[in-house]
C-alpha cells in the first residue's frame, strides 16, 4: 500500500468519524465544531485529489463562512452548554436501519457498475485555467451560470436582511 493510499484512508476515516460525531453528539456547540473538522477533512481530501482551487473554496466558504454563521446562530438562539434531548429509541433504530439500508443498496450498485477509464489526455486544472473557462462566453464557457448564481446570491442576501429585520413598533 502506497503512502497516497494510506493518506486517503486516514482522511476518509477522519471525515466519516467527525461527521458521525457531528450528527450524534448531544451538545449543539460540539456538533458545530465536529462539523468544522469534517469540512476541513473534506478540504484535505480535495488537496489529495490535486484540486487546489476547490479545496481553497471549501476552506474559505464552508470553514470560514458557513460554520462561523452556524456558530453565531447557536449563540443567538440557545444556551450552547445545554444538552439536547435524546431522540426516542424507535426513531434512532429506524433511522439507523434506513441509513444502513440506503448505504448498502447504493454501495451494491456502485460495486456492480464498472467505470471505464478515460482515453483523453488530462486537462490542467490550474486556477488560471478554471478562471479562463468560467468567464468564457463561448459554448465551453460558464459565464451564464456565473451570472445566474450571482443574481441568486444577491437575492439571498436581500431576502436574509428582509426576513431577519426587526419590525419597529408603531407606538413610539
d(CA 154, CA 157): 5
Map the footprint of another protein across residues 9-68, applying CB under 8 A: 12, 15-16, 19-20, 22-24, 28, 31-32, 35, 38-39, 42, 45-46, 48-51, 53-54, 57-58, 61-62, 65-66
- Residue 69 in the binding site for another protein (CB under 8 A): yes
Map the footprint of another protein across residues 139-168, applying CB under 8 A: 142, 145, 149, 152-153, 156-157, 159-161, 163-164, 166
The one among 83, 94, 135, 138 contacting another protein by CB under 8 A: 94
Give me Rg for the CA atoms of the chain. Answer: 22
* DSSP string of 59-106, one letter each residue: IIIIIIIIHHHHHHHHHHHS-TTSBPPPPPHHHHHHHHHHHHHHHHHH
Q: Looking at beta carbons only, is 78 or 138 nearer to another protein?
A: 78
Burial pattern 65-75, b for ≥16 Cβ within 10 A else e, equals eebeebbeeee
How many CB atoms are located within 10 Å of the residue 80 CB? Answer: 14
- Residue 87 in the binding site for another protein (CB under 8 A): yes
- Residue 115 in the binding site for another protein (CB under 8 A): yes
The one among 10, 98, 135, 147 contacting another protein by CB under 8 A: 98
Q: CA 62, 60, 157 angle in degrees (round to 5)? A: 70
The one among 10, 79, 83, 99 contacting another protein by CB under 8 A: 99
Q: Looking at beta carbons only, is 80 or 170 nearer to another protein?
A: 80
Q: Looking at beta carbons only, is 31 or 170 nearer to another protein?
A: 31
Amino acid at each position: 500500500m502506497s503512502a497516497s493510499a494510506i493518506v486517503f484512508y486516514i482522511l476518509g476515516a477522519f471525515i466519516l468519524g467527525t461527521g458521525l460525531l457531528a450528527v450524534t453528539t448531544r451538545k449543539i456547540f460540539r456538533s458545530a465544531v465536529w462539523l468544522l473538522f469534517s469540512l476541513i477533512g473534506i478540504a484535505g481530501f480535495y488537496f489529495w485529489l490535486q484540486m487546489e482551487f476547490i479545496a481553497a473554496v471549501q476552506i474559505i466558504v464552508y470553514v470560514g463562512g458557513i460554520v462561523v454563521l452556524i456558530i453565531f446562530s447557536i449563540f443567538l438562539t440557545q444556551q450552547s452548554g445545554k444538552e439536547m434531548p435524546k431522540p426516542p429509541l424507535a426513531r434512532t433504530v429506524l433511522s439507523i436501519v434506513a441509513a444502513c439500508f440506503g448505504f448498502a443498496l447504493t454501495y451494491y450498485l456502485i460495486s456492480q457498475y464498472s467505470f471505464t477509464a478515460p482515453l483523453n489526455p488530462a486537462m490542467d486544472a490550474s486556477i488560471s485555467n478554471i478562471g479562463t473557462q468560467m468567464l468564457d462566453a463561448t459554448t465551453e464557457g460558464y459565464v451564464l451560470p456565473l451570472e445566474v448564481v450571482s443574481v441568486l446570491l444577491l437575492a439571498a442576501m436581500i431576502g436574509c436582511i428582509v426576513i431577519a429585520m426587526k419590525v419597529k413598533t408603531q407606538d413610539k
